[in-house]
Amino acid sequence: MGGCFKKCAKKTPFQVYRMKRDDFYNISGLKQFFVQPTKFNTGGFGIKNAVRITFSTSDLYTMYISDSYNEDMHKISLKKRGRPSSLNSFQGELTKKYNAPLPIEKTKLEHVISCLRWIPEIYHDFYKGLHQKEN
């Protein structure tokens, strides 16, 4: 699926990273070290409208954000003012965000299963292995 997105923009092709469940970490313990992005420190647009967000390991306190696929990214500092806590003082360990596949709504699961006749058989085991949310 990522291949079709890579080919969408000819001038500046998209960088597509396929992420798996093990690539997601629970970062809630790091929240105290960063300013939370708001309309006021993101140049006027809310983070909810972002379509691209980029972080770099070389500068953990900077987020690049854009509310369009075609515009330049806006640089936003996440560094706290005053006496900020040092990220180096973080003593916790980042844990995996998900230990198992997330369950989906019963009606959605039923719909997916009803569409199996149009899905190549090689993928059927994946869809049959999805779990239903418990109400």
- Structural domain total, the chain: 2
Question: What's the pLDDT at 73?
Answer: 81
Give the model confidence (pLDDT) of 28-47 as tens digits: 766 666 555 555 555 555 56
Give the model confidence (pLDDT) of 111-121 as tens digits: 999 999 999 99
CA 65, CA 53: separation in Å to the nearest integer?
A: 5
- The reply to whether 36 and 69 lie within a common domain is yes
- The reply to whether 94 and 114 lie within a common domain is no
Three-state SS string across the chain, please? CHHHHHCCCCCCCCCCCCCCHHHCEECHHHHHHCCCCCCCCCCCCCHHHCCEEEEECCEEEEEEEECCCCCCCEEEECCCCCCCCCHHHCCCCCEECCCCCCCECHHHHHHHHHCHHHCCHHHHHHHHCCCECCC
Question: What's the pLDDT at 24?
Answer: 82
Cα of first residue to Cα of last residue in the chain, in angstroms, is: 32
- The reply to whether 95 and 108 lie within a common domain is no
pTM exceeding 0.75: no
CA 60, CA 54: separation in Å to the nearest integer?
A: 10
Cβ atoms of 63 and 37 within 8 Å: the answer is yes
- The reply to whether 40 and 74 lie within a common domain is yes
CA 16, CA 38: separation in Å to the nearest integer?
A: 26
Higher-pLDDT residue of 131, 80: 131
- The reply to whether 7 and 32 lie within a common domain is yes
On average, the pLDDT of the chain sits at 75
Question: What's the pLDDT at 72?
Answer: 82
Range of the domain at 59: 2-99
Question: What's the pLDDT at 52?
Answer: 79
Cβ atoms of 78 and 62 within 8 Å: the answer is yes
Backbone angles phi, psi at 132, to 5 degrees: -90, 140
